[in-house]
Amino acid sequence: MKAQDIMVTNVICVDMDDRLPNVRKTMASHEFHHLPVTEKGKLVGIISDRDLLRFISPFIDSASEQPRDLDTLNHAAHQVMTRQPIAVKANTSIEEIVAWFKRVDISCLPVIDEQEQVIGIISWRDLINHATF
């Protein structure tokens, strides 16, 4: 089995200059945990929900919210993203994908084509959903 057999293909990406309110909204409305970040269609990074939790003030939308808390939303995706994310090609074997998940502390892998454009994404949940026991 290969990446192309289990990857999710309707991938929504954000641009590296998108602001964090847009990134947050996209994640929340689609219930995503990861968003690939692109520049001119090319994969340049990835943002996880954990990245947002670390970066955005926990006081946003609370009674304790201050102007400095709102300032944390004033950043672009490229300021929060993980740069040079590990990515795989469509013909990458599932064994190799599992090895990446075991070797590196990641929970998704973007799937890219020869031009480094995102064509899919695989999470550990996708692996579990397609596991044959």
Q: What is the mean pLDDT of the chain?
A: 90
C-alpha distances in Å from residue 98, one per residue of 3, 17, 52, 129:
11, 32, 26, 13
CA distance 94 to 114: 19
Residue whose structure tokens are 């502390």: 105
Are the C-beta atoms of residues 112 and 87 closer than 8 Å to each other? yes
CA distance 25 to 115: 28
Is pLDDT at 57 greater than 90 in this prediction?
Answer: no
Is pLDDT at 133 greater than 70 in this prediction?
Answer: no
* CATH class belonging to 3-129: alpha beta
- One-letter amino acid at 35 equals L
Overall average pLDDT of the 29-45 stretch: 95
And the tokens for 107?
A: 């929970």
Residue-wise pLDDT tens digits, 80-132: 999 999 999 999 999 999 999 999 988 899 999 999 999 999 998 888 888 76
Prediction pTM value: 0.87
Q: What percent of the chain has pLDDT over 90?
A: 71
